[in-house]
C-alpha cells in the first residue's frame, strides 16, 4: 500500500494522514518472510480436524517447493484434531526462505506453523463453516 499526500499539504497534515493510515496497513495481513541460515533446523507442523488422507500441504526445503496431496496427519491431539510434522536441516551456504501451507476441502479447521531451531517463527490457522479451510505460513 502506498500513501500519497498532495504536494500542497502541510507537514502537520501529512503526519496526520500517515498516522490515520496505520490501522489500514496493519489490517492488510501482509506476510513476512521467514529466512533460515546454514545448519538451522526447520520444522513444519500441520494440523486439521480430519485425520484421513484429505489434506494438501506444501512447504519449502533445501530442494525447493514441495507439494503433497492426500496427506494423513497421524498424531491425535484431542477431539477430531490431528497433527503431523516434518523437519530438515538447512544446508544452503546462505540459507533460504521457508514457507508452508495446508488446505482441506472437508475440514472446518486447519493449522500450520514453522519452527526454526526450536523457536516458533510463523503460524496460521483457518476456520470455515463450509468445510474448505486453508492456512498459509
Task: Give the distance from CA 32 to its chain's centroid.
Answer: 9
**34-136 CATH, one of 3.30.420, 2.60.120, 1.10.3470, 2.60.40:** 2.60.40
Would you say residue 33 has pLDDT above 80?
no
pLDDT value, residue 7: 34
107, 103, 137, 134: which is closest to 122 by C-alpha? Answer: 137
pLDDT band per the 50, 70, 90 thresholds, residue 32: low
Residues of each domain in the chain carrying CATH 2.60.40: 34-136
Assigned C-alpha cell, 63: 530442494
Amino acid at each position: 500500500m502506498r500513501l500519497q499526500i498532495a504536494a500542497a499539504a502541510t507537514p502537520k497534515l501529512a503526519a496526520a494522514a500517515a498516522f490515520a493510515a496505520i490501522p489500514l496497513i496493519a489490517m492488510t495481513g501482509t506476510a513476512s518472510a521467514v529466512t533460515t541460515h546454514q545448519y538451522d533446523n526447520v520444522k513444519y507442523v500441520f494440523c486439521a480436524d480430519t485425520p484421513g488422507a484429505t489434506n494438501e500441504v506444501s512447504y519449502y526445503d533445501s530442494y525447493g517447493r514441495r507439494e503433497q496431496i492426500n496427506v494423513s496427519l497421524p498424531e491425535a491431539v484431542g477431539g477430531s484434531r490431528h497433527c503431523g510434522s516434518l523437519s530438515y536441516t538447512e544446508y544452503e551456504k546462505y540459507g533460504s526462505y521457508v514457507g508452508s501451507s495446508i488446505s482441506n476441502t472437508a475440514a472446518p479447521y486447519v493449522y500450520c506453523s514453522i519452527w526454526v531451531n526450536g523457536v516458533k517463527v510463523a503460524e496460521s490457522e483457518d476456520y470455515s463453516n463450509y468445510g474448505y479451510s486453508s492456512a498459509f505460513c
